[in-house]
Structure 1
Amino acid sequence: MYYLKNGGDQAIVKQTAPASIHENDVISFYSSDPALSGAVNTHRVVSIETDGNNYRYITKGDANNVVDRYDVDSRDLLGRVVWSSLILGKIVRLVSNPLIFVPIILVPLAIILIANLVKTVSYARKIAKDEEEAAVKEAIQYIREKNLRETGDTTESNENSERKSE
């Protein structure tokens, strides 16, 4: 059994067939109270009236002394509360407050993103430096081999020239 006297509880609601709702169940529904203008409300069922396939639930808030003025039609039913938590409700309320959301959620998130960006740029620079060093080494090796070939060709040409002159 769930008592939602605090008004700030976070509830998990399971979609439930109207016929499966019983007295003392806590249900969530779209309120027909003009003051709430269709907002979601969560109250306890104190009695049920049926008219064929249509169900009307008489509800009462756990913190209220009297039953609700407006009954809940089964078409407005969202479902039965299967779990609730005051702590989770407070956390959700805090996080949804912009004065809390920005410094507690967005600022750390921005710091993490910037740190990851700096790390990524640093890593990319290291990779680029390593690739550049490898390219320079390859170019030096190519030039050395070319010089050796040219030197070798020159030596062979000199030897051939000396042989012809003999």
Structure 2
Amino acid sequence: MKNRDWHKQLRDITHWLRKILTWSSFVVLFLVSGLFVYHVVDIKIMNNDKVNYKPEFALYSILTGSMEPNIRVDDVIFTRKINAPDELKVGDVITFVSENPHTKGAIITHRVESVNQTVDGYSYVTKGDANETKDNAPVSFEGIIGKVIFKIPKLGILRKIVSNKFGWLFLVLIPATFVILVDLIKASRAVKLNKTAETITKQKKTPDIRDVSELKQKLLEKRTKLSALDEMELPRLRN
């Protein structure tokens, strides 16, 4: 009895674990898909207006190793818009539009090394963690897109996959295939259970051959006894 209860508990635990894993996969895929849709729209808007476009939140893939080992190539960073210069301090990592003549207009993510305040406003000296020297041109407050608040390691690899024309199809096919497989497995198990139930029902309705033979034997024995009694009673009646 205890062994049977243990097996039942194990089946229940396995059932709930499968449910949790299934729904977790759906949630992760949904969130990742939503993030990439937002990322694609965000990049398209920014390409049209890099100077004035400053979203409240944004995400970017890291393309170079200038911030290693803290931020590596193919990591995805999330930034938050900075509304006032005093929100930034030395040591913060910021994403900005480069004002360096050699890389003008490029979107760069580096760490703030120093903050300078002049009559013209605030400017920030930046440097990549892996670079030996500071950036040549200071960053104006107007050129800052946002402050890095967290990162997701290697999520940029997935972004590369979905960036081509087959990528979105791939992103849709994975969850769709997963859903179909789960439904097929459930349907297959349901069919097997129904067949098993029908077989058990038929077996219960069909009498056992040995039981029938025993019943016939008992009836024959009773008939023989009755015949013997009749033969014993007949002489008495004649007398």
> Is TM-score (shorter-chain normalized) higher than 0.5?
yes
Alpha-carbon spacing, 1:84–1:102, altered in 2? closer, same or farther (3 Å): closer
**How many pairs are equivalent?**
109
Runs of 4+ in 1 over 3 A off after TM superposition: 2-5
Letter in structure 2 aligned against 1:59: T
Partner of 2:49: none
Partner of 1:70: 137
More relative contact order, 1 or 2 (CA 8 Å, 6+ apart): 1
Deviation sequence 1:2-59 (CA, Å, 0-9, x none): 9644233211100012221000000011111233331211100011111147111100
The equivalent position to 1:81 in structure 2, one of 142, 148, 162, is: 148
Identity of aligned residues (%): 29
Deviation sequence 1:114-143 (CA, Å, 0-9, x none): x9xxxxxxxxxxxxxxxxxxxxxxxxxxxx
The equivalent position to 1:22 in structure 2, one of 84, 89, 94, is: 89
Partner of 2:79: 13
Q: Report the TM-score when normalising by structure 2.
A: 0.40
Query: Following superposition of structure 1 onto structure 2, how do residues 15-164 of structure 1 map, counting pairs within 5 Å?
Result: 15-16=81-82, 17-52=84-119, 54-96=121-163, 98=164, 101=167, 104-105=170-171, 108=173
Alpha-carbon spacing, 1:59–1:14, altered in 2? closer, same or farther (3 Å): same
Alpha-carbon spacing, 1:99–1:65, altered in 2? closer, same or farther (3 Å): farther
Q: Report the TM-score when normalising by structure 1.
A: 0.56
Tell me, in whole angstroms, the C-alpha distance in 2 between the residues paired with 1:31 and 1:70: 8
Letter in structure 2 aligned against 1:36: T
Contact 1:18/1:77, CA 8 A, preserved across alignment: no
Letter in structure 2 aligned against 1:7: V
Structure 2 unaligned residues grouped into runs of 5+: 1-67, 181-239
**The residue matched to 1:32 in structure 2 has which SS?**
coil
Contact 1:56/1:74, CA 8 A, preserved across alignment: yes
